[in-house]
Structure 1
Amino acid sequence: MINFQNLEDAQRLAQAIVNTIHDPLLVLDKRFHVLAASRSFYETFKVNAEDTYGRLLYTLGDGQWDIPALRLLLETIIPAQAAMDGFEVEHDFPGLGRRNMLLNARQVVYGEGSDATILLAFTDISARRAVEREKEVLHERTQELLLQKGVLLQEMQHRVANSLQIIASILLLKARAVTSEETRRDLQDAHQRVMSVAEVQRHLHVTGGIDQIEVGSYLSKLCGSLASSMTGGSQPIDIKVSAEDGRIGSDQAVSLGLIVTELVINAIKYAFPVPNSGASIDVSYEVNGSDWKLVVSDNGVGKTIVPNVKSGGGLGTAIVQALVKQLGAQIETTSGDTGTAVSIAHATFTARLPEAA
């Protein structure tokens, strides 16, 4: 403990401590008159000692400290709680402009007497609050732009879906009007390709998503659409879908949808040249991390009728090969008397081992 020779030494030390503090600091008596102020206080608020010492806080600087929030802190909160941290005051200070100040206050009572002083420290958080306001404005602007983007995308989806429906209808009308059977088949194939893209658009609209869609639901709806429009009559074909849980980007979904459409149409056309009561086409989709595997298989007559997808073929084959390459995948076809299977695997896909029973 330091032993002071007189009161002046103690006061000199106390003032030195006050001046050392980085943030502005005031020492007030119990009636809120200034007993001491730090050098930082004078520099920050551009006042001098002659106009500060001994003055009532509320009268400093032509009344710039007569702030209702500050009165509340000093006259109501401090007497009841003796201390308060983080009390924020926003005020327009002459010569400084609008400032946000964080106040920390402590009441110091000496012995058993009635005398007390109040230590009042200020931290200028104006820059922090300005950044927060800028972030808030930016966030609101971003939300507004995202909302506008969503509206525009919905409108675009609607227009694209309508355009695809119009194109599909025109292709069907042309197919019915032509006399060439080969041309009719080509137009019907083109119709199915358009419908596969339209199915993606419908699925995106229903799910409300534009970036990611659920694979199983999408492939099921796509194959259901193909089954209802291309199978039946003398040769009903059961199209089954087995897909693991997973989501893919809409651009990848379009490519997968077109591939499935081409392979399913190919199987419907060539795998069952004679009636087969158990005719079926299976579509499976497996996921292993970032890799995936798509398989379209049938139980038809096999390679004696079905052309190999990897070699030769017409427009459909070229479309499949181009889409597989675009997806960074590899294609493999196996065919025999029990049917044909076309496997498309992304990168180094390895099927997971079955769990032990």
Structure 2
Amino acid sequence: MINPFIKIGQFCFALILFTGVALAQDTSLDENILNKFKNQENVAGRFQFFYSTPNRYKENSAYDWLDAVNIYLNSAEKIKDSISAQQYKMMQAQIYFDLGEFDTSIAIAKELYENKAKMDLPTKKVLLDLMDDDYAKLKLYDKQLEVRQEKKDLGLTNSIAFYDIYANMGFYIKARNDYIMEMKKTVRDDDYFAKAKYHNNVGNYLRLDKSSSVALAKYKEAMGYLTVFLNNINQVKTEKEIVEGNLLKGIIEGNIGKCYTQLKQYEEAIPLLESSIATINEYNKGKFSSDVIENTLDLAECNLQLEKYKTVEDYLNDDLKPVSVENVIKMNRLYATYFDRIGDYKTSSDFLKKNARIRDSITTTDALLKQQQLKSLVGQDLANTRSMIDEQKLALERNRNEMQAKDERINLVFISLVFTLLGFAGMVYAYLKSIKNQRLIAEQKFIIENALVEKDSLLKEIHHRVKNNLQMVSSLLSLQTKNTRSKAAIVALEEGKSRVKAMALIHQKLYQNDDLSVIEMQGYIESLINSIQSVYKKGGHNINITIDAEGTELDIDRAIPFGLILNELVSNSFKYAFPEDDESGKIYIHLSKNGDKGFFEYSDNGIGLPEDTDERANSSMGIRLMNRLVNQLQSTLNIDKSTEGVRFWFNFK
């Protein structure tokens, strides 16, 4: 028989356990995000809570949220509360977008858009932003432009951005250039999150354009800024900022991994891609993420190349649901390669056929659609980015009318001539004369083309010989240096040698270019710095040098002064800026040109200029030389000694 005291003890223990579980459940209910949403007093509170809550699907799935919103929506429709129904439908459309069901999301959004007149401005912004995102995912760029025009008309944005649309259409260089021009001026120096986002986006355009090495440098720069943002304990961050920061960290890690995959460095790529997927799933839980799909496909690619076929199978069978055609094709290609490697050739062939069918079905339609969308995009881009386009159109219209009137006069003359001649002999004569003129034109064109080719060859030969002569001068200076004992003379000869090399490099770049009129400055500056490092063998090799001159081209009249100015500045940094240690040394070089206006900036974080710099300016050959060279560029050299190190800058035409 069981002791009654034991029964009482068991009952008390069960009661305590039940009470603890109930309390734990009550606590979890209090902390549950979905329950907090339900506990809001009205639809306005729920609407605000929904859009201001980061990672809202962390505890409950998007489908749980959809069920809750549908219940409130049905109640609002029963009592004919149109305002509440409108806001619940917007939340419904947002959830479908988060699930990757973009067709359903845009269908609901378009229905709401028809009654936009009843919405206040903040609600319109939420709806238009969602439609913008939906059309981007569905690649309906003409509709996306209409939405952006609507936002501009409502005063929700100052200008219409095009760079993301250009990128989605495959024009990555155009997208990168437009993005830099549009966004660089808006990023504050102290906003490290914005700087991280900016450099990550620039890296995306470079990676998509297969410039993996340059993109990798941009991603690492972005990660540096983001690390500063996340670790800055002096800046109080909201929960939303923390979630967005960690989500961006996961995205950047994945992008670095993708670069390593493109560079075929698979061992380096795998841990970054795995960490990225884990981070994105943690801070973007429940939402559709193309980054997770792309990273998973890249993991499969890496393991496939490393012949880890079991791991490949795990990744490809990981319930992937790619939306974009590119990802579907990539997944089918990986399946085909995997089955080919393990000897299942029939299944491999089936996946290759799937890709062939996909390509066949989209080739014609996709090309036509892309052509139409590009036409619309370019027209809208020109209308919004060129203030003089209306005048140019008017001028073009006048010229067209003049040409049309001239054509009409020519036609009248021709008709009169035909009626006047009325003879077969005249027609034959005119025909023969036309043939003769065409032959003459063809011969003249041939002569001109040959002359141009010969001219280009002669110009290249001249630049080559000038470069060789300057190299000979440099060699003579080197010989003179070896025969000179005076340290001052040796320094002067080395400086002269460096300047001669800077000019020789200009002519070398010219005769190596197809276009003899301009020089691409990014490559020139890199070559010039390598040349200077070879002169100053003991300095400059540990300095972190950043060059921002991508896409800038100058003619020889401007390139030579720039080369000599940069030679002086870099040489001075190598010689004087870091006397103790150059491990932490940094040099920043920026050169840009927009139309007729240009800007040059050079800075280092060394010991800076001495206090009597202004007094030395008259006696220092380097500063006097730079001032004269800047004067040749019709500008004035500015020197900033108030910041760490030194900064030189000037505008030019």
TM-score range, shorter chain: 0.5 to 0.7
Deviates more, 1:250-259 or 1:228-237: 228-237
In 1, Cα distance between the equivalents of 2:615 and 2:511? 33
In 1, Cα distance between the equivalents of 2:612 and 2:521? 27
Query: Equivalent residue for 2:594?
Result: 288
Matched residue type, 2:601: V
Counterpart selection for 1:319 from 625, 629, 644:
625
Q: Which has the higher contact order (CA 8 A, sep 6+)?
A: 1
In 1, Cα distance between the equivalents of 2:541 and 2:468? 32
Query: Equivalent residue for 2:584?
Result: 278
Counterpart selection for 2:562 from 256, 266, 273:
256
State the Cα distance separating 1:288 from its structure 2 match.
2.5
Query: Equivalent residue for 2:608?
Result: 302
Counterpart selection for 2:445 from 132, 139, 143:
139
Matched, 1:339 2:636: no
Q: Where do 1:1-357 residues align within 5 Å?
A: 21-25=419-423, 101=427, 124-232=430-538, 236-304=542-610, 307=613, 311-336=617-642, 338-347=644-653
Q: CA 1:234–1:139 in 2, change beyond 3 Å: closer, same or farther? A: closer
In 2, Cα distance between the equivalents of 1:243 and 1:174? 36
In 2, Cα distance between the equivalents of 1:321 and 1:234? 24
Larger Rg: 1
In 2, Cα distance between the equivalents of 1:226 and 1:340? 19
Contact 2:533 2:541 in 1 (8 A): no
In 1, Cα distance between the equivalents of 2:634 and 2:593? 15
In 2, Cα distance between the equivalents of 1:236 and 1:20? 81
Contact 1:303 1:337 in 2 (8 A): no
In 1, Cα distance between the equivalents of 2:418 and 2:506? 69
Secondary structure of the 2:613 match is coil
In 1, Cα distance between the equivalents of 2:600 and 2:612? 19
State the Cα distance separating 1:168 from its structure 2 match.
0.6
Structure 1: tracts of 5 or more residues without a match? 1-18, 27-40, 45-100, 102-121, 348-357
Q: CA 1:346–1:248 in 2, change beyond 3 Å: closer, same or farther? A: same
Secondary structure of the 1:312 match is coil
In 2, Cα distance between the equivalents of 1:137 and 1:269? 60
Contact 1:231 1:268 in 2 (8 A): no
State the Cα distance separating 1:183 from its structure 2 match.
0.7
In 1, Cα distance between the equivalents of 2:418 and 2:438? 30
**Could you say which structure has the higher helix fraction?**
2
State the Cα distance separating 1:140 from its structure 2 match.
1.6
TM-score, normalisation: structure 2:
0.34
Contact 2:540 2:574 in 1 (8 A): no
Matched residue type, 2:419: I
Query: Equivalent residue for 1:112?
Result: none
Contact 1:308 1:333 in 2 (8 A): no
Contact 1:223 1:239 in 2 (8 A): no
Secondary structure of the 2:648 match is strand
Q: CA 1:220–1:184 in 2, change beyond 3 Å: closer, same or farther? A: same
State the Cα distance separating 1:234 from its structure 2 match.
9.3
List per-residue Cα deviations over 1:37-58 (Å, max 9, x = no partner). xxxx6xx5xxxxxxxxxxxxxx
In 1, Cα distance between the equivalents of 2:573 and 2:496? 16
In 1, Cα distance between the equivalents of 2:627 and 2:571? 15
In 2, Cα distance between the equivalents of 1:20 and 1:331? 69
In 2, Cα distance between the equivalents of 1:313 and 1:269? 18
State the Cα distance separating 1:318 from its structure 2 match.
2.5
Structure 2: tracts of 5 or more residues without a match? 1-416
Contact 1:301 1:337 in 2 (8 A): no
Q: CA 1:310–1:123 in 2, change beyond 3 Å: closer, same or farther? A: farther
Contact 1:204 1:213 in 2 (8 A): yes
Contact 1:244 1:287 in 2 (8 A): no
Query: Equivalent residue for 1:350?
Result: none
State the Cα distance separating 1:196 from its structure 2 match.
0.4
Matched residue type, 1:251: D
Secondary structure of the 2:641 match is strand
Contact 2:494 2:535 in 1 (8 A): no
In 2, Cα distance between the equivalents of 1:345 and 1:20? 62
In 1, Cα distance between the equivalents of 2:421 and 2:452? 42
Q: CA 1:138–1:343 in 2, change beyond 3 Å: closer, same or farther? A: same
In 1, Cα distance between the equivalents of 2:418 and 2:479? 90
Contact 1:270 1:305 in 2 (8 A): no
Matched residue type, 2:538: G
Matched residue type, 1:165: Q
List per-residue Cα deviations over 1:63-98 (Å, max 9, x = no partner). xxxxxxxxxxxxxxxxxxxxxxxxxxxxxxxxxxxx
Q: CA 1:219–1:309 in 2, change beyond 3 Å: closer, same or farther? A: farther
Contact 1:227 1:238 in 2 (8 A): no
State the Cα distance separating 1:222 from its structure 2 match.
1.4
Contact 1:283 1:295 in 2 (8 A): yes
State the Cα distance separating 1:267 from its structure 2 match.
2.2
What is the count of residue pairs matched by the alignment?
Answer: 237
Contact 2:540 2:582 in 1 (8 A): no
In 2, Cα distance between the equivalents of 1:229 and 1:146? 39
Secondary structure of the 1:302 match is coil
List per-residue Cα deviations over 1:71-127 (Å, max 9, x = no partner). xxxxxxxxxxxxxxxxxxxxxxxxxxxxxx4xxxxxxxxxxxxxxxxxxxx672455
Q: What root-mean-square deviation, in Å, do the aligned CA atoms of Structure 1 and Structure 2 show?
A: 2.8
List per-residue Cα deviations over 1:302-338 (Å, max 9, x = no partner). 1227835994243222321222111122321101461
